[in-house]
Copies of this chain bind each other. A is one copy, B any other.
Amino acid sequence: MEDITKERILSAAEELFAEKGYDAVTIREITSKARCNLSLVYYYFGSKKKLYLEVFKEKWASRARELHEAFFDAIEETKPTTLDEVIRILTATYLERKMNAQNLQFHLQLIARELQKPTEALDFVFHEIIKPFFARLEDLIHPFLNPSARKDNIVLSLFSVFAQIVHIINSRHVLPKLLERPFDAKTKELLIQHITTFSMYGMNGLIMQNSRDSFITEGLK
């Protein structure tokens, strides 16, 4: 073995940190899952904290870039003409899986935990990934909006979309009980459909409201 081991440690760590959180995971657990010796974490990364950070720099960041690529590619390809389509593509990027479904889940779980109780990792991720992505998203969306839309409206609407996406992942154990149906593919399809429709109307309504003479009437009426 050489550097494959390092990769195996990172993958095991990502999964365990995502599922249980930093403190609930032991290095013994990680190396056992990665089928290697405990001390290799220290050889490759120096400490548990540094391994955790590296999960974000190596795994999380690159997955995020993949997702953003996929999103902007889909935009390029479909050349949406209404806000509705943009929101649909955004939601689908995060909930339909071109990417492996489980990896996408870990990805969202990890960031959810960082938001809840930020560490150095969030600092890195926010400046390197999230902030630039939001800037691009704002630029993308702006032309679709009536000029009266304020930056606040855009950012908060995006916030609402991501809130729903993250909450689906976070509450995936309870959701089936609330909906009284299993969390299968069909249910997931329903959830995607719901977020898209709900957010589209929400965003359109919001922006129409703070402008009387809207020309974005496509979504409603």
Contacts and interface: CB of A to CB of B under 8 A. Distances in A.
A115 B171 contact: yes
A157 B217 contact: no
A54 interface: no
State the majority secondary structure of interface residues on A: helix
A21 interface: yes
Interface in A184-201: 189-191, 193-195, 197-201
Contacts of A19: 117
Interface stretch (A38-46, A66-74, A202-210): A202-210
A101 interface: no
A92 to B, nearest CB: 12
A118 interface: yes
Given A156-B190, A166-B167, A198-B199, 4 more contacts: A21-B117, A157-B198, A201-B202, A204-B205
